[in-house]
Amino acid sequence: MKLSLRLVSAVLISSMLLVATATEISPEAVAPRTCETLSGRYKGLCWSSNSCALICREFEQFEGGHCRGFIRQCYCTTKCC
């Protein structure tokens, strides 16, 4: 007995819809993006990410900071929208 093309198509579409609705992404699974901005207050080469983060938090109202790059510079970080 042959299955009709309409029946096969209906079963395939139904199974695809079922899979698509069953795999929801929880908000905890999506990590917030982090934006970086070159610090305007940190002077000199950045050797300590702790001091960079302190300058960014205390004087530039960012959430943190870290050193990076070949020419070690301080980048302040915050969560992006």
pLDDT at res. 11: 75
Whole-number Cα distances in Å, 14 to 2, 3, 10, 22, 34:
20, 16, 6, 12, 39
Domain harbouring 39, CATH code: 3.30.30.10
* pLDDT band, residue 76 (cuts 50/70/90): very high
For range 37-58, the mean pLDDT: 95
Which pair of structure tokens corresponds to residue 50? 């702790």
Count of CB atoms situated within 10 Å of the CB of 76: 25
- Is the pTM higher than 0.75? The answer reads no
pLDDT at res. 67: 97
Please count the structural domains in the chain.
Answer: 1
Residue 63: give the domain boundaries: 5-79
Radius of gyration of the chain (CA): 25
Bridge partners (DSSP) of residue 74 are 67
pLDDT in tens, 1-41: 466 777 777 777 777 776 666 556 565 566 778 999 999 99
